[in-house]
Amino acid sequence: MKEETPILEVKQLHTHFFTKAGVVKAVDGVHFDIKPGETLGIVGESGSGKSITAMSIMRLIPSPPGKIVDGQVLFKGENLLNKSEKQMRKIRGKEISMIFQDPMTSLNPVFTIEKQMVETILVHENLNKQQARNRAVELLELVGIPEARGRLKNYPHEFSGGMRQRVMIAMALACNPEVLIADEPTTALDVTIQAQILELLAKLQKELGMAIIMITHDLGVVSEVCDRVMVMYAGKPVEYTDKKSLFKQPKHPYTLGLMNSIPKISAKKEKLEAIEGLPPDLRALPGGCSFAPRCSQATEICLTTDPVLIEHGNNHHVRCLLYEEETEKVVSE
Amino acid sequence: MVKYILRRLVMLIPVLLGVSILTFSLIHLIPGDPAKSMLGEKSTESQLEQLREELGLNDPYIVQYGRFAGSILQGDLGESVKSKEDISIEIMNRLPATMELTVFAMVLAISIGILAGVIAAVKQYSWFDNLSMTGALFGVSLPIFWLGLMMIWFFSVQLNILPASGRISNNIELNSITNFYLLDSIITGNWAAFKDVLSHLIMPGVALGTIPMAIIARMTRSSMLEVMKQDYIRTANAKGLARHLIVFQHALKNAFLPVLTVIGLQFGLLLGGAVLTETIFSWPGIGRYVYLAVMGRDYPVVQSTILIIAVIFVIVNLITDILYKYFDPRISYD
Ligand SMILES: Nc1ncnc2c1ncn2[C@@H]1O[C@H](COP(=O)(O)OP(=O)(O)O)[C@@H](O)[C@H]1O
Ligand SMILES: [Mg+2]
């Protein structure tokens, strides 16, 4: 593990949506940090608040109805939540970049990729058009697009899904960001293409040294590329540790459930155990632990007492009453 | 692209054939004897026979149509029953006035409609949104003649700041080159004429442009709202682009596609609206020409004018389709 100071620290982040039907606590106490060159995984089922966490960091929460109601996002020690919109625009796409799940819809269909790449470069870098164009070609070559210069004038629909995601990555890396947030970058792609994209990201990280926040619902992806992991459930972090400890000693029943639902080649005959039940309604969270209704190990007390994130073992944080008697150090609340 | 346009032009042939058959049939579809309805109840049998002879109404339909189509192809639209003037020449004299009015109305409708629609969408539920969309709702339901008369009453009669009729004042000299007066006054640098022509254009332009403006504004708003939710707008935001670039480039170019379809249709419908507007404002264009011809039962004139309007409609649609392909790179030319 690298012992550098974190480039990004998210502290007690709370992002809520104030809808007519009630307050949706989409992100409710997310807490993590990431060091330069490191890859942090954020894992959880769909709707657990992963994307909203990412959008909160970028300060791109649609408001109304969304609002970051509490917490800090420290980027190089400065709280992004105190920045003006103008200051944020200088950070987005330059210091913190993002790529998204669906490369089919994330590029603007009516502009050439040249226009879309060059405009990003021109907003952030002091280059002229020709230099920006050359830089775009360089980037496309970097992400492995064949005959890059000839493809500048192409429109997104003229690329395959995997190639489009490469274009997205090239665009995100245009200004050498220090943090790249990848929000389910391979979910929409074929399995073979998925592997290629993950490999590409790993290679680029080695070359360029940026930190990556890898958002995924797939523990398989985590096992391949992440250094550390935060598992999220219903807007809250439930387990937060390094990858090795997570796979060796998963603590939270939810994490265990996720692991049991990964298909294993060695256990072909065993039935895949998806976690039973559905994620809770974020507008009306049950009292107590929000996972309790689906938890096979839940007891009476879980339905009434909300656990806090505690450190249980070396740098292994878990939010579960099963571990609370042996509380060593409370890090949350 | 060129191939596509050529193919579309070839495809126009059957459309125009259909249009010509329809306008030709017009005269025969009207109940009663066409000659009699043109000359009136008091006409004598010899007058009627003379007109039938003149118009060839005694020949079989197929022969009549052949003659009709043949002369159209030579640019000959026949002559007016009433004034005996050559219809082609009359239409050519009036067409620029109508084109200038409709283009002016459309420029007004497109620029204000799109701007209002974009602002309303970006500031959804704001006072501007509510005000402009309520206005648009009124706009689509306003009868043109009522709006026209109210404007004349207010701006010409009460305030006396805008002329109530015509294209240009009698005391203004203007060398016609294109017969588009606004253009001519710019070309010749005649600013007195420019001001005068513009003041004549404003009220009929507004009367004619209000409905398409309202429709374009509503369409732009809903299209923009849809587009602003798209993933590529989120990408544009995440890249750190400025708000105006995102709204007016990334969003508007996508949102414009459905608006363009509406613009094409409205442009065609405008030619219908021109009949009313030109009549109210005594605008010397083909709208007023066809109105007077209908009132005077001058069928050859009605026939020819409708044919011309239909052809313009078809051409406008063609241009819209070509523009559509220009704006949407996903559509292939094959
Ligand atoms: N604009 C919004 N209004 C209300 N609720 C929202 C909005 N956007 C997201 N949410 C809620 O926030 C929760 C978390 O969403 P998200 O972060 O996208 O989940 P995921 O982990 O799948 O990325 C979801 O339950 C969703 O319903
Ligand atoms: Mg998501």
Going from the C-alpha of B217 to that of each of A126, B224, B257, B264, the distances in angstroms are 38, 10, 14, 14
Which residues of chain B does A83 touch, with a Cβ-Cβ cutoff of 8 Å? Answer: none
- List Cβ neighbours of B7 (8 Å cut-off, separation of 6 or more): none
In a domain, residue A104? The reply is yes
* Residue B26 buriedness (CB in 10 A; 0-12 / 13-18 / 19+): middle
CA A67 / ligand 2 centre spacing (Å): 17
> CA geometry: angle at A162 spanning A214 and A97, to 5°?
40
A214, A39 in Cβ contact below 8 A? Answer: yes
**d(CA A50, ligand 2 centre) in Å:** 6
Cβ–Cβ < 8 Å for A61, A15:
yes
Please indicate, yes or no, whether residues A158 and A111 belong to a single structural domain of this protein: yes
Closest chain A residue by Cα to residue B242: A89
Kindly list the residues of chain A whose beta carbon comes within 8 Å of any beta carbon in chain B.
58, 60, 88-94, 97-98, 100, 102, 105-112, 119-120, 123-124, 155, 157, 168, 171
Per the prediction, chain A carries an average pLDDT of: 87
**A113 with A195, same domain?**
no
| Residues whose CB falls within 8 Å of the CB of residue B208, separated by 6 or more in sequence, listed in order | B101, B102, B105, B144, B270, B273, B274, B277
Q: How far away, in angstroms, is A34 Cα from ligand 1 center?
A: 23
**pLDDT at residue B117 tops 70:** yes
Q: Are residues A226 and A102 in the same domain?
A: no
- Whether residue A217 is contained in a domain is answered as yes
Distance from C-alpha of B76 to C-alpha of B93, rounded to nearest angstrom: 15
Tally of domains in chain A: 2
Residue A177: the pLDDT is 94
Pocket of ligand 1 (CB under 6 A): A 17, 19, 24, 26, 44, 46-52, 62, 65-66, 282
The confidence score (pLDDT) of residue A140 equals 94
CB-neighbour burial class of residue A104 (10 A; exposed 0-12, middle 13-18, buried 19+):
middle
Q: Which residue's CA is minimally distant from atom 24 of ligand 1?
A: A47
B chain contacts of residue A121, beta-carbon cutoff 8 Å? none
A267 in a domain, yes or no?
A: yes
Q: Which of A125, A150, A174 is the last residue of a domain?
A: A174
d(CA B238, CA B214): 34
Alpha carbon distance A199, A216 (integer Å):
15
Statement: residue A111 has pLDDT above 70: yes
Instruction: Kindly state whether residue A3 falls inside one of the protein's structural domains.
Output: no
Residue B185: CB partners within 8 Å, gap ≥ 6?
Answer: B174, B191, B193, B194, B197
Q: pLDDT tens across B249-286, in order?
A: 999 999 999 999 899 888 888 888 889 999 999 999 99
B181 with B168: CB under 8 angstroms?
yes
Name the closest-CA residue to atom 23, ligand 1. Answer: A51
Per-residue confidence band for B151, with pLDDT thresholds at 50, 70 and 90: very high
> Which domains, ranges and CATH numbers included, belong to chain B?
2-73 (no CATH), 94-327 (1.10.3720.10)
Partners of B245 on chain A (C-beta within 8 Å) are 119
Q: Report the C-alpha gap between B196 and A67 in whole angstroms.
A: 55
Judged by CB atoms closer than 8 Å, whether chains meet at B241 and A119 is answered as yes
pLDDT at B32 exceeding the cut of 80: no
User: Does the ipTM surpass 0.95?
Assistant: no
User: Are residue A202 and residue A302 in the same domain, yes or no?
Assistant: yes
pLDDT at A2 over 70: no
- Residue A269 Cα, gap to closest chain B Cα (Å): 40
CA distance B82 to chain A (A): 54
Predicted confidence at residue A333, as pLDDT, reads 43
CB contact under 8 A, B330 and A108: no
Same structural domain, A212 and A162: no
Token pair listed for A171: 């665009």
Q: What is the DSSP letter of A128?
A: -
Does the pLDDT at position B27 exceed 90?
no
| Chain B interface residues (partner A, CB cutoff 8 A) | 230-232, 234-242, 245, 250, 253-254, 327-330
Which residues are within 5 Å of ligand 2 (an ion), measured at CB?
Answer: A 51
| In contact, B174 and B185? CB cutoff 8 Å | yes
A198, A286: one domain: yes
**Is A1 among the domain residues?**
no
Residue A273 has pLDDT above 80, yes or no: no
Low-confidence winner among A141-145, B111-115, B238-242, B320-324 (lowest mean pLDDT)? B320-324
Characterize the bridge pairing of strands A228-233 and A39-43. parallel
Q: Give the Cα-Cα-Cα angle A171, A176, A178 (nearest 5 degrees).
A: 115
A305: left (phi over 0), alpha (psi -120 to 50) or beta: beta
Element of type H or E holding A233: strand A228-233
Q: Which atom of ligand 1 is nearest to the CA of A19?
A: 4
Distance from CA of A60 to the nearest CA of B (A): 8
Residue nearest to atom 20 of ligand 1 (CA): A47
User: What pLDDT score was predicted for residue A325?
Assistant: 67
Q: Tell me, what CATH number does A49's domain have?
A: 3.40.50.300
Which of the four pLDDT bands, split at 50, 70 and 90, describes residue A104?
confident
- Residues B61, B67, B68, B69: what is their CA dihedral angle, to the nearest 10 degrees? 110
Specify the residue with its C-alpha closest to ligand 1, atom 12. A26
Q: Residues A15-53: pLDDT tens digits? A: 999 988 888 999 999 999 999 999 999 999 888 999 999
The predicted pLDDT at position A329 comes to 46
The reply to whether A242 and A159 lie within a common domain is no
Interval between CA A319 and ligand 1 midpoint (Å)? 22
For residue A265, tell me if it sits in a domain: yes
Ligand 1 atom 3: the closest Cα is on which residue? A17
- State the Cα–Cα distance between residues B101 and B204, nearest whole angstrom: 7
Q: Strands A329-330 and A310-311, how do they pair?
A: antiparallel
pLDDT tens digits, A274-311:
677 778 888 877 788 888 888 888 888 888 888 888 88
pTM of the model: 0.84
Pocket test for ligand 1, best of A13, A15, A17 (most atoms within 8 A of CB): A17
Q: Which of A59-63, A275-279, B112-116, B258-262 has the lowest mean pLDDT?
A: A275-279
- Tokens standing for A268? 């072909």
> Nearest CA to A235 among A30, A17, A31?
A30
Pocket-testing residue among A14, A16, A24, ligand 1, by greatest number of atoms within 8 A of Cβ: A24
Same domain, A199 and A319: yes
Ligand number with the minimum distance to the CA of A232? 1
pLDDT for res A81: 94
Domain end among A174, A200, A234: A174
Among the partner-chain residues B231, B250, B253, the one whose CB lies closest to the CB of A100 is B231
Segment B62-72 shows an average pLDDT of: 87
CB-nearest partner of B327 from A58, A97, A110: A110
Closest chain B residue by Cα to residue A159: B330
A166 and A17 part of one domain: no
Q: Contacts of residue B234 in chain A, CB cutoff 8 Å?
A: 60, 100, 106
Q: What is the DSSP string of B31-63?
A: SS-HHHHHH-TT--HHHHHHHHHHHTTTS-HHH
Across chain B, mean pLDDT equals 89
Lowest mean pLDDT among A107-116, B267-276, B282-291: B267-276
Three-state SS for A96? strand
Q: Whose C-alpha lies nearest to ligand 1, atom 19?
A: A47
Average pLDDT (A211-227) is 91
Query: Looking at A115, A140, A174, which one is the last position of a domain?
Result: A174
**Judgement on whether residues A180 and A131 belong to the same structural domain of the protein:** no
Which strand ranges, in their side-by-side order, compose the sheet holding A78-79? A22-34, A8-19, A66-75, A78-79
Cβ atoms of A258 and A43 within 8 Å: the answer is: yes
Whole-number pLDDT of residue B109 = 95
- Measured by CA distance, the residue closest to atom 14 of ligand 1 is A49
Contact at 8 Å (CB) between A10 and A57? yes
The CA distance from B202 to B194, in Å, is 12
Give yes or no for a contact between A174 and A139, defined as CB atoms under 8 angstroms apart: yes
- Per-residue model confidence (pLDDT) at position A328: 45
Counting ligand 1 atoms within 8 A of each CB, the residue from A23, A28, A42, A48 with the most, and so the one to mutate, is A48
Give the pLDDT confidence score for residue A3 in this predicted structure.
60
Neighbours of B56 (CB within 10 A): 12
Give the nearest chain A residue to B228 (CA atoms): A62
Q: What percent of chain A has pLDDT over 70?
A: 92
User: pLDDT of B190-205, one tens digit each?
Assistant: 999 999 999 999 999 9
Contact: A89, B240; criterion CB under 8 Å: yes
Burial B143-180 (b: 16+ CB within 10 A, else e): ebeebbeebbeebbeeeeebbbeebbeeebebeeeebb
Q: Which of B235, B250, B325 is most worth mutating to test chain A (most A CB atoms within 10 A of its CB)?
A: B235
Percentage of the residues of chain B whose pLDDT score is greater than 70: 99
Q: Write down the pLDDT at residue B325.
A: 82
Q: Which residues of A touch B235 (CB under 8 A)?
A: 98, 100, 106-108, 168
Ligand 1: which residue has its CA nearest to atom 6? Answer: A17
Instruction: Report the atom number in ligand 1 closest to the C-alpha of A48.
Output: 21
In a domain, A254, yes or no: yes
**β-sheet bridge partners, residue A8:** A34, A75
Same domain, residue pair A247 and A125: no
Which residues, listed in sequence order, are joined to residue A180 by a DSSP beta bridge?
A: A97, A212
**Region for B56 from its dihedrals, namely left if φ exceeds 0, alpha if ψ lies in -120 to 50, beta otherwise:** left
A233 and A320, same domain (yes or no): yes
**Nearest residue in chain B measured CA to CA from A106:** B232
* Residue A2 counted as domain residue: no
- For the stretch B240-253, what's the b/e string if a residue is b when 16 or more beta carbons lie within 10 angstroms of its beta carbon? bbeeeebbebbbbb
Give the whole-angstrom CA distance, residue B135 versus residue A138. 51
Per-residue confidence (pLDDT) for residue A263, from 0 to 100:
64
Judge if the upstream peptide bond of residue A64 is cis by omega within 30 degrees of 0: yes
Q: From A58, which residue of chain B is nearest by alpha-carbon distance?
A: B238
pLDDT of residue A327: 47
Question: What's the pLDDT score for residue A18?
Answer: 93
Report whether pLDDT(A99) > 80: yes
Task: Give the residue from chain B lying closest to A120, CA to CA.
Answer: B239
Residue (of A116, A40, A35) closest to A76 by Cα position? A35
Domain with A223 in it: 8-95+175-330
